[in-house]
Chain A
């Protein structure tokens, strides 16, 4: 356990060092310095930069005339809302499709599902999102084109999570505002979840098939347990571990995707904010956005590693 902690510790240390070095270099690109540094040389300034970061001073955007951390926090809830819903979609539908395919291995359904998931996996989501808008919003008129909620609903920003804020003003609008917010989330979430969903479905299928070959499943089968029972009770639990370990990659994919999705749907989140900062060469915002998003991914990966090694004792052994 101790060696495990050391390993995670060094990984974390190297990650944080590399990351802050990158964002420090980024922060030096602008016309004006991000902070007032005492030191003259690079290394000294870097350490001062770290101190500023720790003190919560992430810089000041001269374009927005606000601290960048404020802007980040302003846009962050919208992104989280989208990412969480997309992850939910990806996990629920990915697992379901994977199990369905494994259940009908080699059959028509399996082949179709694998074809579909490969297509999903190869999808340029910037194109996919536009196709969805064209079909569902512009042609059928089922879903809104953009925005987080209809303007009929005047929702005061409390948490800045629209789903929560709309529930908070439930007294005024009932649940209508909440459903309206949900309706606005659907197309972006589908767009964003497509690739991870495909990956999870494929992983689930192959991992399930692997587990189903195992000794103990054969024993279970010989005991006369039904296929459904075997899959749901015995196989899935073991098949989940490899799926869990690739979730880190999923989060990374989703974070890339969310930038594109927010751009397509004019979703007022961190991704759109970051892209605007790039086109405005607002380096204070760029470094803060990249740092914050990366920290999030790193933290998530670390948590996942720890969880995986907790769930799977074999991983705890030093390799």
Chain B
């Protein structure tokens, strides 16, 4: 990716209103997860037994001490959401980078493997890709047991194949191009070829893939928490909070709507950014 290319991409991106809105929301969520916990009015695990299921401010009997209300143990929703933001984003980042790291290495290796091995590896990736992601995650969690770390491993495994595929196909495409041929004739080895010539050109594709993996990872981690297979209470994880709120949705809807809204807005903003990035990097797809 040359300088002029990235400049061009930024120009396209910055003129994309929805992408910029998404970036803004995402920035706010990131900021919340970084500094939010310091601003949280209470400890997320602290139980105010005299304030059980206090509604948020905008209800008649809302309360300034707990502006977004409390849950059924009297824990402050705002504090839990803020801590949840940090936890959820931290987990998502970890998962995506781990998957990207493994996936890119495998994909790069696949691009240089002989065709038999490559097709075997890629067929296996196809299999993992074709299986429903949650089903695969459940299989993995069933094997190693429920709980947050295991759910994280499961989601990493679910995400790897996409990175392998994107990397492999991007590299293969680049390898066929003339400039690579020229470099090869100059006597460049595999590694050199990869790092100096191919790599800069596949970065856009990887960034787009990375962005979409964020939304998948966030949704899947929360889904496992919701199903009781991921983070366990009393952890302030958004999906787990949602699942705890099920017992009284009509009585205390805020315990359900707020964590869900947090997940939804974050995923939405990531997808907006992802769409924007794809359009920016690939003008052919520009609508």
Residues of A within 8 A of B (CB): 10-11, 14-15, 18-19, 22-23, 25-26, 29, 115, 118-119, 121-124, 126-128, 130-131, 133-134, 138-139, 206, 209, 248, 252-257, 259-260, 263, 274-275, 277-279, 281, 283, 286, 290, 293-294, 297-298, 301
Contacts and interface: CB of A to CB of B under 8 A. Distances in A.
26 contacts: A14-B124, A18-B127, A19-B127, A25-B143, A115-B18, A118-B18, A123-B264, A124-B219, A124-B264, A126-B222, A127-B256, A128-B260, A131-B257, A134-B249, A134-B253, A138-B249, A138-B250, A252-B130, A252-B131, A256-B133, A263-B227, A274-B138, A275-B227, A278-B138, A283-B142, A301-B130
Contact of B260 (A22, A127, A138, A139): A127
A293 B227 CA distance: 19
A124 B256 contact: no
A13 to B, nearest CB: 8
B33 interface: no
Interface in B263-278: 263-264, 267-268, 270-272, 275
A29 B142 contact: yes
B81 interface: no
Nearest to B131: A294
Interface string B120-143: 100110111111111100110111
A156 to B, nearest CB: 32
B99 interface: no
Nearest to B257: A131
A193 B285 CA distance: 26
A124 B223 contact: yes
Interface residues of B, number: 50
Nearest to A138: B250
Which 6 interchain pairs have the tightest Cβ spacing? Answer: A127-B260, A256-B134, A255-B132, A14-B123, A256-B132, A122-B268
B167 interface: no
Nearest to A296: B132
Contacts of A118: 18, 268, 271-272, 275
A227 B124 CA distance: 45
Interface centre among B223, B257, B261 (most CB of A within 10 A): B223
Contacts of A115: 18
Given A11-B123, A139-B250, A294 B223 contact: no
Contacts of A290: 135, 138-139
Contact of A130 (B138, B246, B271): B246
A23 B129 CA distance: 17
Contacts of B190: none
B13 interface: no
A254 B130 CA distance: 12
A104 to B, nearest CB: 13
A219 to B, nearest CB: 23
Interface in B219-276: 219, 222-223, 226-229, 239, 242-243, 246, 249-250, 253, 256-257, 259-261, 263-264, 267-268, 270-272, 275
Given A126-B242, A248-B130, A286-B139, 8 more contacts: A19-B127, A124-B263, A126-B260, A130-B256, A134-B250, A139-B250, A253-B132, A278-B229
Interface centre among A115, A248, A259 (most CB of B within 10 A): A259
Nearest to B22: A118
Contacts of A253: 132
Nearest to A300: B130
A15 B227 contact: no
A130 B249 contact: yes
B54 interface: no
A29 B144 CA distance: 9
Interface in B162-198: none
B119 interface: yes
Contacts of B260: 124, 126-128, 130-131
A185 B74 CA distance: 36
Given A122-B268, A209-B287, A274-B138, A10 B131 contact: no
